[in-house]
Structure 1
Amino acid sequence: MKQSTLPGSDVTVSQLALGCWGLTSDFHWGQRDSAAAQATVAAALDAGITLFDTATMYADGANETLLGELLAGKRNEVQIATKCTPAQTTADAVAAGLDASLTRLKTDYVDLYQIHWAGTDEELAEVWGALIQLKQLGKARAVGVCNLGPTQLDVVSSLEKPSTNQLPYNLLFRAIENEILPRCKTQKMGVLAYSPLMHGMLRGEWKTADEVPATRARSRHFSSQREHVRHDEDGHETLTFDTIECLQQFADVSHNTMVELALRWLASNPQITSILVGASSPEQIAANAEAIARPLDKELLKQVNQVTDPLKQAMGTNADLWQSAAGSRIH
C-alpha cells in the first residue's frame, strides 16, 4: 500500500488508515463485539494498513485500551494516532491526558498526537504549545490538529506548523474545499480525511433519510427535527439522497461499488495524506483496501464532482458536520 511521510516529521503512514472509533460500543455506533474488533484489526494489518487513529473521547478511553491490546507486540510495525479532549484546556491537563493515553495504549510514545476540537483561541494556543512540548519530550513523534479552519490555523501556526489537519471530507460533504484545503496546501500541511463514507451513507444501503439509524442521522444533511441533531437548520435530506442515487448510477455504469467510488474519489486527490475509514469486519477492510488499489477514471472523476456540486453549494462553507454556522467549531 502507498505510504506518505507526514510533513515536518519522519513518520510514514499508509494511504488507508483504520479509524478506530467504531471498534468499541457507544451511542453513535451501537453495540460492538471485541472479537470482531480483533479480527478487523488483524485484517487491517494484513492489508498493509499501518496507521490506526483513536481518541481519548472514544468510549471514554476504552477505545485506546482495546487498541493497545490488539496491537500488542506490533508496536514497531504501526503508527498510532490519538487526540486530547476539548476538556483538556491547560498544558498540565494535556500532559496528564497523554500520559493516561500512553498507559491505555501500552506504549511510551504515539506517532501522532492531535487536538481533537479547539476551544477559544487562548485555549487553543496553550494546548498547542503543550503538544509541541510533548513532541520535544519524545512522547509524540509528530503533532497535528483536527477540525481547524483558517483563523484557528493562524493561531497554531504562529507557534509551529502542524504536521496534519484531520478533517471531514467525502462526496456528500465537500465544505473544506472552499477555504481549508487551499490553506493546508499553501502551508504544506498533511490532510487526514475522516468520515469518507459519511457514516455509512456512501455504502449505498440506505435509500431514504428515514432508513438511516437515528444515532447516525445527526449531521447537517438531516433536518433539525430529527432526534439527535445539534444544529437548527432545515437540512438537505431530499438533495442528499437524490445525490446518493445519482452516485449509485455512476457506480453501476462504471462497474464500481459505492465504496470504491467514494474512496477512489478521495484517493485521486493528491492533497489527501491518508484516508481514515472505519470498519467493523475483515470483509469491510478487504473492500476498503481493494477500493484504493486503482485510481478513478478522470472522466468519471469530473462527472462525480459535477453531480455532487449542488449538495456542496447547499451545505455552504461551514466545515462543521454537526453544528450550524453560528455555532460552528471550525473557523
Structure 2
Amino acid sequence: MLHITKLLSGVAVASLLMLGTAAAQTVLKSSDTHPDGYPTVEGVKYFGELIKERTAGRYSVEVYHSAQLGEEKDTIEQVRSGVIELNRVSMAPFNGTVKETIVPALPYIFRSEEHMHTVMDGPIGDQIKAAFEPAGLVALAFYDAGSRSFYNSKKPIKTVADMKGLKFRVIQSDIFVDMTAALGANATPMPYGEVYSSVETGVIDGAENNYPSYDTAKHFEVAKYFSEDQHTILPEVFVMNKAAFDKLTPEDQALFKQAAKDSVAKQRELWAKKTGESRATVEKAGAQINEVEKQGFIDAMKPVYDKHVKDDVLKKLVADVQATK
C-alpha cells in the first residue's frame, strides 16, 4: 500500500510539474496583412519555430495573417502599445515615426535587390534598426518585398508622360504620395485591403506593388497593365514591442535576435521562388507586362529627395547608401 501511495504521489508531482511547464509558456502574437503562405508570413512562422525549439517551448509565436488583427497602420499602434508583441510591416508606414526609415523608402535609392541586401545587412541597417527603439520597438529583421511597380486598368505605362492624370493607390506614406505627384499622377493613400474593390468600381485606376502582392490579392483581375518602373526596392521590417523584448533575459534576447536573423535567409529564399511563380501566374491570366524608360522616372525624383531628405542625419544616410558597393 505504501509503495502504491508513493507511486501515486510521484505521478501527482510529475503532473504538477507538467502543468507548471505548460503554464510557463509565453505565447506571442504577430500580425501580417498578407495571406497564409505568403513569404513574409512564412518567414515569421519560421522565426516562431526556431524560438519554440531554442527556448525548449518556453515561448511560441501565433501568426495572425490576412489582416486578422487589422491593416498595417492599426497594427503598428497595437505593437507599440503592447496589445500585440510582434508585427511584420512595410517600412513606409513608419516614415512619420522613425525618420531613418525614410531613406530605404526613397524611390531608386537601391540599384538592385542585391544592393539593398548589402546595405540592410550591414552597419547602415544596424543604424536604422537602432532608430526604432525610441518609438518603443525593437527591429528584429528586414525582409524582402522585391521591387514595386505601377499597375492599372487603363493602359501600359512606358514613359513618365503616360502617368499623367491616372489615380493610384499608394502606401500611407508622404514619400509615396509625393513620388506619384512628381510623375504627374494622383495618389490615393488607402489600406491594402481596399484596393481591389476601389479599382473595380473606378475609385482609382490602379496601384503599385510587387508581383506576389499583385498576384495574391488578385489585383491583376481588375488592373491588367503591369509596368516595370521598379520605383522602390522597399524592405519590410519585423518588429517587437520593446517592453516585451526588455522583459526577456539577455540570453533569450540573443536567441530572439539570432532566430530573426536566421529567418531572413529562409524568407529571401521563399520570396525569390514566389516572385517567379506569381509573375507566371499573372501572365497566364492575361496580365500585360512591359518595361519602361526608367531614366525619366529617376530624373523626376529630385523634388522628392529635396523635400524629404532635409537634415544631416538623412543626408549622410543617403550618401552612405549610394556609396555602398
**TM-score strictly above 0.5:** no
The higher relative CO (CA closer than 8 Å, separation ≥ 6) is in 2
User: Could you tell me the TM-score, scaled by structure 2's length?
Assistant: 0.28
Whichever of the two has the greater Rg, that structure is 2
Higher helix share: 2
Query: Scaled by the length of structure 1, what TM-score is found?
Result: 0.28
